[in-house]
Amino acid sequence: MSETTPVPVPPTSIGRNPIAPKRLELFIAFALISLSGFGGVLYWSRRMMVDERKWMTAEEFNEAYALCNFLPGPNIVNFSVVFGRQVGGTAGALVALLGLLGPPFLLVMLLGLLYAYYGDIAVLQRVLAGVAAAAAGLTVSTGLKMAGPLLRQRPGIAHAVAMAAFLAVGVLQWPIYWVLGVLIPCSIALAWRMRR
Amino acid sequence: MNNEIGTLLTLAGYFALLSLFAIGGANAALPEMHRLAVEVMHWMNDRQFADMYAIAQVTPGPNVIVVTLIGYHVAGLLGAFVATLAMCGPTCVFAFFMGQVWDRFKDAPWRIAIQAALVPVSIGLIGASAAVIARAAAQSWMAVAVTVVTAVVTYTVRVNPLWIFAGAALLGLGGLI
């Protein structure tokens, strides 16, 4: 007799929150995160999930995000699946994923279509050359910011690992598979030994 | 026709594999995307790759969307679908099942060791992405200058990058790049 459709909450530690979203709400929330998520979807997802909708506590968010950082692949995409599953099972995971990827997919297809037709026009090429140079600069500063905590530590194994990945993939442009196939096991072995 | 299916299969297999090596997010896989699309398969040149990255950056949404553009460029709408699905699918399935068992091993020493080991790898990969995309975008000295200035400004000042993109677009429009 309740006014809202009850959504079953699987018994896991994250998403114990009593306020479980409906599927449409879930879709809209992730679509909004995606569309406002210019320059860092993480910031917007925390704001939406924790501050605005109160679907998660800050601790639950950190926990889910730690998991998504642990997994390979697009982090925020993983996050939508993890959170969607916790509040709405398989359907919830699909709905959150579609909300996150659907709108930008359509937008970028539109831009891709325009690029395919007009990309060779001189004016557009000049504009894009400018934006591309700026986008590259933004990536450089993101990289520097990420390296910040490492740079403040005393030089050690982590620095060697980061430098090796940078040189092999970024400068020598070796295939990522061979580089990581060697580097990750070495890095894990060293991290395991450092632990003791 | 066979050729088209072959291209789609290449996109699918390639991005599905690559997604598992994207340690620290989709942008970490950028150098490998560049290597395949520009150096190995010759699907596009450096300028086009830099253009697509730029378009993906000005589109709101996750960084992974650059894969959609590459897929579209290579094999049209179907290519866009296949590439996006391949890049997100495997790790989504992984995330779906890991979400169920995360509690059991989140405090395990081996998990903490693995995560500690992956952090410097992801930092190195983002640095590599920056190097690759900066090289691809360096079509002129003025473009290099824009890259350097953007890097310095966004590193030191908290500013919405859209303003910088708009400024760089105007410089380009004025024929200065």
Is the pLDDT at A4 greater than 70? The verdict is: no
Confidence of residue B19 (pLDDT cuts 50, 70, 90): very high
Start-end of H helices in chain B:
2-20, 30-34, 46-58, 65-105, 109-137, 141-156, 161-173
Query: pLDDT tens-digit profile of A41-62?
Result: 777 788 888 888 889 888 888 8
Whether A134 and B165 have beta carbons less than 8 Å apart is answered as yes
ipTM: 0.91
Confidence of residue A39 (pLDDT cuts 50, 70, 90): low
How much is the pLDDT for A61?
A: 87
B160/A contact by beta carbon, under 8 A: yes
Query: pLDDT tens-digit profile of B84-134?
Result: 999 999 999 999 999 888 888 888 988 888 888 999 999 999 999 999 999
CB contact under 8 A, B18 and A103: no
Confidence of residue A1 (pLDDT cuts 50, 70, 90): very low
What value does the mean pLDDT of chain B take? Answer: 93
Is the pLDDT at A73 greater than 60? The verdict is: yes
How much is the pLDDT for A15?
A: 46
Confidence of residue A17 (pLDDT cuts 50, 70, 90): low
Minimal Cα–Cα distance from B42 to chain A, Å? 16
How much is the pLDDT for A8?
A: 46
Name all contacts of A38-42 with Cβ < 8 Å and 24+ positions apart: A38/B60, A38/B161, A38/B162, A39/A138, A39/B160, A39/B161, A39/B162, A41/A76, A41/B61, A41/B62, A42/A75, A42/A76
Optimal mutation site among B121, B129, B140, interface A, most CBs of chain A within 10 A = B121
Minimal Cα–Cα distance from A95 to chain B, Å? 13
Rounded CA-CA distance A104/A115 in Å is: 16
B90/A contact by beta carbon, under 8 A: yes
How much is the pLDDT for A191?
A: 87
Question: Which range (A43-52, A172-181, B13-22) has the least confidence?
Answer: A43-52
- Average pLDDT of the segment spanning A154-182: 94
> Hey, which residues 94-113 in chain B have their CB within 8 Å of chain A?
94-96, 98-100, 102-103, 106, 109-113
Is the pLDDT at A144 greater than 60? The verdict is: yes
CB contact under 8 A, A108 and B56: yes
| Torsion angle, alpha carbons of A19, A9, B90, B12, to 10 | -70
- Average pLDDT of the segment spanning B172-176: 90
How much is the pLDDT for A171?
A: 96
Residue spans of the domains in chain B: they are: 2-137
Rounded CA-CA distance A166/B6 in Å is: 32
Confidence of residue B175 (pLDDT cuts 50, 70, 90): confident
List all residues 6 or more positions away from A31 whose beta carbon is below 8 Å from its beta carbon. Answer: A99, A100, A102, A103
